[in-house]
A = this chain, B = another copy of it.
């Protein structure tokens, strides 16, 4: 069975050495706190105004302001800044926290398209930083598709023993 990492690398098309290149530079120090707030605000403004209901509805039970804060605090923590997310909410636990959402390949691609547009809309983000972040986001999105699939598979198996691997 392929690991989460193998699936994420294969499905995202992001090379292993690029997926976590965000760790080669301290992007928080380089870009500053407000840049991450601006990025997540721009991103969720796009998501909550998406004209495709199937995608917009994924976020229907989440408060937009909470979604923005959760996201920029995680980005800040993961990209070299203070551990704001963990201090407020505990471990990122990305797969567990995304469990309620249908993280399909289509949803991942649409999430990434909105994030691409958001990255292009925040002038403070230079080309090198943007490339690092795009690779990280793309790897992470498909890592979560793999996580979603793993969870659904385990759920089915628990109720249909003949499907056990």
Contacts and interface: CB of A to CB of B under 8 A. Distances in A.
Contacts of A58: none
A8 interface: yes
Contact of A96 (B88, B95, B139): B95
By size class, the interface of chain A is 20 to 34
**Copies of this chain, how many?**
2
A155 interface: yes
Interface string A1-12: 001110010000
Contacts of A86: 19-20, 23
A87 B155 contact: no
Chain A facing B: main interface SS:
helix
B155 A23 contact: no
A89 interface: yes
A16 interface: yes
Interface string A78-100: 00001100111111111111011
Interface in A52-93: 82-83, 86-93
A31 interface: no
The 3 closest A-B pairs by CB, nearest first: A95-B96, A5-B90, A93-B95
Interface of A: 3-5, 8, 16, 19-20, 23, 82-83, 86-97, 99-100, 139-140, 143, 147, 150-151, 154-155, 158-159
